[in-house]
């Protein structure tokens, strides 16, 4: 199959944890910048991946994890276990087999915190997710390739899960649904929006995004990039719509799904 990559960067918002409420799901770190102490929170890659796998509804037999792959029963194969197709594996038997993840995540890193009219402080977070569409459903280790219809279904299921992602923090369910998302399906595999998104004074930094679109060394990036926006959260909604052509979040994901469907149909 021809090389094709899916990548997107997302901003979501959840209630800000204080030092006492940080947990395995939300970590805290401090940095000194220009002599000032700053505190940031982040959601680790492992937490995002765990929630994605569980909410996709995969029937997995996970026995352990490291940073790059699931460690499963050596007999598990990608045709029966979609999670090891998408998120890789380490099979430890007589001969160790490794499949790197074809779906890759970043940490979800805190951006700006704001106090709402209800007095509750909430924080924006951003993370990036990428997938190598041409590698879905193909495993040279076990000489397996599934049908394109199943490949398509697995990616669509992943997109639906990203759209409605949530996680538990201290026994409370937190919605990680996108408020802003930008990305697309491209003829390259590169997380071009990694560490790009920013929010300042409750405004998405559009200039950084446009700079990336104009300067990445690939053709048709601006044409193939799409943007989704949940109105009413950011103070520059109109600018986002005007300069990035933002659609609703639902419309964005339908556009990306159509791209995925056409890719697997034509290959």
pLDDT exceeds cutoff 60 at 32? no
Q: Which pair of structure tokens corresponds to residue 69? A: 């792959």
Give yes or no for residue 242 having a pLDDT over 50. yes
d(CA 203, CA 234): 5
On the question of pLDDT at 239 being above 60, the answer is yes
pLDDT range class, residue 18, cuts 50, 70, 90: low
Per-residue pLDDT at 76: 84
Is the confidence at residue 202, as pLDDT, over 50? yes
The mean predicted confidence, pLDDT, of the chain is 88
Whole-angstrom distance, CA of residue 38 vs CA of residue 30: 6
Taking only the tens place, the pLDDT of each residue in 157-195 is 999 999 999 998 767 788 999 999 999 999 999 999 999
Distances (CA, A) of 77 to 23, 85, 92, 103: 33, 8, 13, 17
Alpha carbon distance 89, 155 (integer Å): 18
pLDDT band at residue 17 using 50, 70 and 90 as cut-offs: low
Name the DSSP letter for residue 266: H
> Quick one: tokens of 21?
């409420």
Highest mean pLDDT: which range of 60-64, 73-77, 181-185, 263-267: 181-185
pLDDT value at residue 67: 45
Place of tokens 């005007």: 242
């Amino acid at each position: 199959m021809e090389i094709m990559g899916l990548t997107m960067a997302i901003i979501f918002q959840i209630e800000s944890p204080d030092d006492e409420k940080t947990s395995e799901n939300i970590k805290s770190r401090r940095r000194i910048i220009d002599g000032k102490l700053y505190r940031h929170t982040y959601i680790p890659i492992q937490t995002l991946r765990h929630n994605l796998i569980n909410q996709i509804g995969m029937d997995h037999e996970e026995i352990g994890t490291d940073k790059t792959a699931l460690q499963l029963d050596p007999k598990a194969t990608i045709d029966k276990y979609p999670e090891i197709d998408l998120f890789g594996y380490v099979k430890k038997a007589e001969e160790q087999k490794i499949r790197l993840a074809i779906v890759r995540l970043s940490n979800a890193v805190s951006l700006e915190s704001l106090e709402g009219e209800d007095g509750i402080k909430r924080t924006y977070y951003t993370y990036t997710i990428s997938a190598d569409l041409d590698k879905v459903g193909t495993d040279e280790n076990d000489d397996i390739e599934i049908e394109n219809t199943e490949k398509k279904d697995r990616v669509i299921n992943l997109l639906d899960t990203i759209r409605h992602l949530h996680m538990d923090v201290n026994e409370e369910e937190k919605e990680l649904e996108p408020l802003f998302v930008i990305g697309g399906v491209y003829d390259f595999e590169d997380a071009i929006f990694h560490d790009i998104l920013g929010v300042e004074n409750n405004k998405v930094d559009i200039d950084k995004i446009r700079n990336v679109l104009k300067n990445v060394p690939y053709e048709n990036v601006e044409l193939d990039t799409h943007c989704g926006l949940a109105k009413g959260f950011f103070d520059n909604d109109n600018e986002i719509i005007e300069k990035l052509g933002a659609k609703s979040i639902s419309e964005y994901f339908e556009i990306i799904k159509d791209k995925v469907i056409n890719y697997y149909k034509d290959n």
